[in-house]
Structures are given as C-alpha cells and as structure tokens.
Amino acid sequence: MPAAWLTLACIIATMSEASSVGVVTPQTAHFSEPLALKSGAVLPAYDLVYETYGTLNAARSNAILVCHALSGTHHVAGKYSEDDKYPGWWDNIVGRGRPLDTDKFFIIGVNNLGGCHGSTGPASIDPATNQPWGSRFPVVTVEDWVAAQARLADKLGIQTFAAVMGGSLGGMQALQWTLSFPDRVRHALVIAAAPNLTAQNIAFNEVARQAIITDPEFHGGDFYAQNAIPRRGLRLARMLGHITYLSDDAMGEKFGRKLKHDTVKYSFDVEFEMESYLRYQGDKFAGEFDANTYLRMTRALDYYDPAAPYGGDLSAALKTAKAQFLVVSFTSDWRFSPARSREIVKALLENERTVSYAELTAAHGHDAFLMPDPQYHAIVNAYMQRVARETV
Amino acid sequence: MSQQFSQAVLERSDFAVIARWIKPKTKVLDLGCGDGALLGYLRDTLQVSGYGIENDDANVLACIKNGINVVQMNLEDGLSGFEAQSFDVVILSQTLQAVYQTERIVQEMLRVGKEVIVTFPNFAYWKHRLHILGGNMPVSDDLPHQWYNTPNVHMCTIHDFDEFCASHGIRISERLVMTNGNKISWLPNLLGSLAMYRFEPR
C-alpha cells in the first residue's frame, strides 16, 4: 500500500476513534443510609457501580443519566483497554459528535441494584451473615432503582438531570424518573418502552424464570454456597429472550434456513445457523450473568405499572410529570410495540406535556433501539441538541 | 427561531388567516404539519400549546430540530389515540387533497376538535381550468406536482366541498377564499386558488 494511503487510513482510523469515549474506568459509590424498597424490605447499605463520560459543567446542569435494560450494565460506552474486543452496550450513541455528545454532556451509566456487574445484588455478600444474599436478596422495582439512582445523583452533586434516557426497561426508568422526581429531570427519552407489560410479555418472563428456577443447579437461589451455577436455566431464558428481541424478518434475513453443515444429519445437534446463534448467545450469557439477577430484572419489568394506583388511568398517573419527552418506538418491535409507546404519548398529550414521538421504520425488532439506524440517531441527535441549547 | 416561522407565514398566505381564527393559549392539533412552520408561528405569536401529526421521516426530524411537538403517525389510521373534544382547534392545512379516507378524517377532526379548520387548493381556479381546456392536468404554485408524482389523490373544488359539507351535516361558520394572499369575494370558485373553512362546533 502506498504511504499516502496508509497515512490516510491512519487519519480515518484516528477520526473514528476520536468520536468514541476511549478507555474508561468504572467507579463505585457506597451508600450506608438504608434504602426502603417498594416491597417493604429495607436494604441496609449498598454499592452502586457507575461510569461517567464527558465533563460536568460548572452549573452542574449538563448531566444525562442512561438507564440500562434487562441485561445491560453501567458500561454504556468505551472500552476497558485498548484491545478490549467489545465496547459498552450503547457505545454507538455516546462520544464526541455522537447524539450523546461528550463535548456537551456529562453522561452517567449505572448498574442497577440487584445487578451482577458490581452493584449490590444477590451474589454480593450480606454483611449480616457474611454469606451471599442469594434467595434473600429483596425483589427490587423500577421505582427502587430510580430512588437509588437519585442518591447517586445527590452524591455527584447533580440536582437536576438535563435528560434521563433509556430503552426498554431503561425507558421505563426514564419514565419513572419524571414521576418520582418531577423537578429533577428536564427531559425524558423513553425508547422502545411501554407503560407496563402485556400478558404476553409477562408470559415470556415467566417461562424464562421457570427455566431458571427448575434448574437443579439453582438450589432455590442459594447456588453460590453449592459452587453451582444454573447454566441450563439461564441459557434457556436467554435463548427465549433473544427470539423475542428480534423480528421474524430480521431473523429470516440473518439466518433464514441456512444450514450449519453442507447436509442435514438427521440428528438433534445443531443443524441450522439459527440454532447455532441461539446456543452461542445462551452459552455466553450463562457464563457471565447471574440467575438471581435475571429473576429480579424480569420481575421489575412485570411489576412496573405506574397507572395501577390510578385504576389503570395512565393519563392520571402522568399528571405529576413535568419533564419534556421524546418517545421513540420501532415498527418491527413486537415485544414493546409502537402501540404501547403511543399509549404513553396519548397520556402526555392529555396532560398537555411537551412531547414528540418518532415511530421508526426498522427491521430489527426490539433490539433496534441499540442499532445505529441513521434516522433514529438523527432524531435523538436533533433532540439532544435542543437539550444542549437549554443547558448552557 | 421566531424569524424563521415569520418567514414561513409570508410564504403561506393561509397561515396568517389561520392565526386570526385561533385564540391565544389554546390547544391546537395540526394534521400533516410538515416541518412545523405553522405550529411554530402559532406558538410564537399566540402561545398556543401545539402538536403536529406527521408521517414523513424527514418532516418529523425537521419538527424535532425546530422544537415542535410532533407525533409520527399515518393520518389514514384515524385519530383513535385522541380523546373526543381534546383539542380546542384541529387544523388540516392543504392536506385534505392528499388524504385517501377523506370522510373519515373530517369526521375524526370533528370528533377530536372543538373547532375545525380545513384549507385546500381549489381545483376549479381559472388557471387550472385553462390547463384542462388546453388538454393537460393543472400545474401551478398551488399544485406544483406533475400528474404522475403528485401526492394529491382527492382534488376538489369549492363547490364540491360545499356540497360535501351539506351532505355530511357539517355546518360552515366561516369561509374565506384567497388568491395570492388577497381575499376573493366575487366568483370564488373561479377566481380563488385557496379555500379556507371553519366548521361550527358540534
């Protein structure tokens, strides 16, 4: 390759690297004040692990909280080392010149309570017993997460977030922020979310939980002491989840009926590429995720229903919200369908809140919220520029 | 931003009239709001609480850039997401002719809005008639498209629309016909290029 081309390639590589946040390091905040949970249980003390990108301005007005979904973490963007194979789960949206521009915003990702990536969760040691919490770790809710996130904001000196955002279960947290702390969030970006789960969604979650709970290695949730991991259950739960996060079309396009080998073997080994993909995803997940966390994350989804105390009247429930909203859905998302996002929009309209709604044509199903679709990112980018203009 | 929307009102003569028909600080829904120019103008001049409905990706993006509340949906699906009488005014500005389910949309507007404003290009405007006499489909400032690429599917004349209102029990409270921003009182169906209607509340 001629030297000029090589130089050009290096420049391009550097430019694309410049828009990523680069190498990041997680931090841990300890909270010794007990947290009263929605269930009535009390968590005496806990840790939250988090990452930040960008710089908090002098007025402390440019902070954005990114809430994660079921299997997400605090590692939203960047890498842990230069040769880290995969960046954070929403890396494509965070960085210089990206929709969540680190030149303008101070972005926070936090692992939720009950998680398994550093924040206090079922695998953590309960100081009272010196044993892992296991089955005794309380059931946490979206409201509890928001309360814990608010304490982290207190600790970081952030009174009001410029925006709180998230997709799926993360979108539910963004919505809940506007209800739990209406004066502490100026904008909420609620993406691929719903005001509650449908019966079908609860059903999927229940199958996933049953896969875990009936795994002999689960030991009622206290598998840590047995040196066991309910891999089979976690694997099945993840495989099922994956099917529902993709659309039929996306699966058809990616895998179709493609065979793993040249000919079929008339066996129950992997015959189709689709099976191979699901098994790979299931195995990967079972090796890194905690079964008790999975149960609690799905339960938090099931329980979330801000309209319930208002007899199902979402409009009445959202009356307390003061934030401005961007609601986004994806046409092929059948797990959190556009119709569910429209319910949120309708309730906000009825309360005359500032709200915009984009219904994006996308093939990727529920997972579309993680994809760098040009129209999607243009919408979020335009909205965030508006947020930035108000922030200075 | 105000300047940007003032500019838009100069280019669209129906905007100024619509603004005269709307009371300050009311709740307005603009169906087929485009890039949000009308809503921006109404917000800046009348402090209305405005929402637009738009289906086109580029227009939705433009609205968000312009700080306009926009809801992306297809008008043809109706307004089932909106409660009866939940808006003070519902506007359909030069979009009627591009709608397939004309009757349904008009009925939906009357359901959702306490007041309804409809504007459309008059197909019977004399210049359009000349085009047809000459053997061609009309192409003008109001109807800039060729027959093969026009989004318009239900062109009508002022006479047609009057008859439509009569046959559908819609009472017109005010009708204004304009050409190049000037009011046309004499032979409006021949000399008017743009028709603007206000319906009485039900």
Q: pLDDT, tens digit, for every residue of A189-247? A: 999 999 999 999 999 999 999 999 999 999 999 999 999 999 999 999 999 999 999 99
Which residue segments constitute the domains of chain B, with CATH numbers given?
3-200 (3.40.50.150)
Q: What does the pLDDT look like over A316-367, one tens digit per residue?
A: 999 999 999 999 999 999 999 999 999 999 999 999 999 999 999 999 999 9
Residues (pLDDT < 70) of chain B are 1-11
How many contacts does A have with B, using Cβ atoms within 8 A?
Answer: 51
Mean pLDDT of A165-193: 98
Tell me if B63 and A356 make a contact (CB, 8 A cut-off): yes
Our answer to whether residue A261 is catalytic in this structure is no
The chain A residue lying nearest B57, using CA atoms, is A375
Query: Which residues are paired to A259 by β-bridges?
Result: A272
Our answer to whether residue A366 is catalytic in this structure is yes
Tell me if A358 and B72 make a contact (CB, 8 A cut-off): yes
Q: What does the pLDDT look like over B4-53, one tens digit per residue?
A: 666 665 567 788 899 999 999 999 999 999 999 999 999 999 999 999 99
Tell me if A349 and B70 make a contact (CB, 8 A cut-off): no
Which residues of chain A approach chain B closer than 8 Å at the C-beta?
326, 342, 345-346, 349-350, 352, 354-361, 375, 378-379, 382-383, 385-386
Could you give the C-alpha distances from A264 to A256, A261, A267, in angstroms and in order?
Answer: 15, 7, 8
**Which residues in B lie closer than 8 A to residue A352 (C-beta atoms)?**
27, 49
The chain B residue lying nearest A343, using CA atoms, is B81
Tell me if A352 and B49 make a contact (CB, 8 A cut-off): yes
Q: Which ipTM value was assigned to this complex?
A: 0.91
CA distance B78 to chain A (A): 13
pLDDT at position B11 is 64
Our answer to whether residue A219 is catalytic in this structure is no
CB–CB of A326/A381 below 8 Å?
no
Tell me if B61 and A378 make a contact (CB, 8 A cut-off): yes
Ordered DSSP codes for A329-388: EETT-SSS-HHHHHHHHHHHHHTT--EEEEEE--SSGGGGGGS--HHHHHHHHHHHHHHH
pLDDT at position B6 is 60
Q: Which of B62, B66, B65, B61 has its CA nearest to residue B43?
A: B66
Tell me if B63 and A375 make a contact (CB, 8 A cut-off): no
> Does the CB of B64 have a partner CB in chain A at under 8 Å?
yes
**Which residues in B lie closer than 8 A to residue A350 (C-beta atoms)?**
83, 86
Alpha-carbon distance of A99 to A373, in angstroms, equals 12
Closest residue to B27, CB basis, from A352, A354, A383: A352
The chain A residue lying nearest B49, using CA atoms, is A352
Structure tokens at B200: 């009485």
Q: Which of A192, A191, A141, A143 has its CA nearest to residue A163?
A: A191
Query: Which residues are paired to A52 by β-bridges?
Result: A108
Quick check: helix, strand or coil at residue A109?
strand
pTM above 0.80? yes
CB–CB of A66/A165 below 8 Å?
yes
In a 13 Å sphere around the CA of A235, the CA atoms on its Cβ side amount to 16
CB–CB of A183/A322 below 8 Å?
yes
CB–CB of B160/B96 below 8 Å?
no
Alpha-carbon distance of A157 to B100, in angstroms, equals 55
Could you give the C-alpha distances from A388 to A202, A225, A379, A392, B44, in angstroms and in order?
Answer: 38, 49, 14, 7, 21
Closest residue to B71, CB basis, from A345, A352, A379: A345
pLDDT at position A8 is 53
Q: Which of B122, B106, B140 has its CA nearest to residue B196?
A: B122
**Which residues in B lie closer than 8 A to residue A357 (C-beta atoms)?**
70-73
pLDDT at position B1 is 44
Residues 82-111 of B with CB under 8 A from A: 82-83, 86
Tell me if A356 and B83 make a contact (CB, 8 A cut-off): no
Is a pLDDT exceeding 70 seen at residue A84? Answer: yes
Q: Which of A194, A150, A188, A152 has its CA nearest to residue A172?
A: A194
Tell me if A385 and B65 make a contact (CB, 8 A cut-off): yes
Q: What is the mean pLDDT of chain A?
A: 95
> Does the CB of B51 have a partner CB in chain A at under 8 Å?
yes
Is a pLDDT exceeding 60 seen at residue A3? Answer: no
pLDDT at position B142 is 82
Q: b or e along A349-361 (b: 16 or more beta carbons within 10 Å of the residue's beta carbon)?
A: bbbebebbbbbbe
Q: What does the pLDDT look like over A58-74, one tens digit per residue?
A: 999 999 999 999 999 99
Instruction: Identify how many contiguous H helices and E strands chain A contains and give both numbers.
Output: 11, 12
Tell me if A357 and B71 make a contact (CB, 8 A cut-off): yes
Tell me if B70 and A356 make a contact (CB, 8 A cut-off): yes
Closest residue to A358, CB basis, from B60, B67, B81: B60
Could you give the C-alpha distances from A192 to A69, A247, A324, B72, in angstroms and in order?
Answer: 11, 14, 17, 14
First-to-last alpha carbon distance for chain A, in angstroms, is 47
Q: Point out the catalytic residue in the list A68, A74, A117, A366.
A: A366
Is a pLDDT exceeding 50 seen at residue A1? Answer: no
Residue A250's H or E segment, with its range, is helix A248-254
Q: How confident is the model at residue A16 (pLDDT cuts 50, 70, 90)?
A: low
pLDDT at position B81 is 81
> How many residues does this entry show for chain B?
202
pLDDT at position B14 is 83
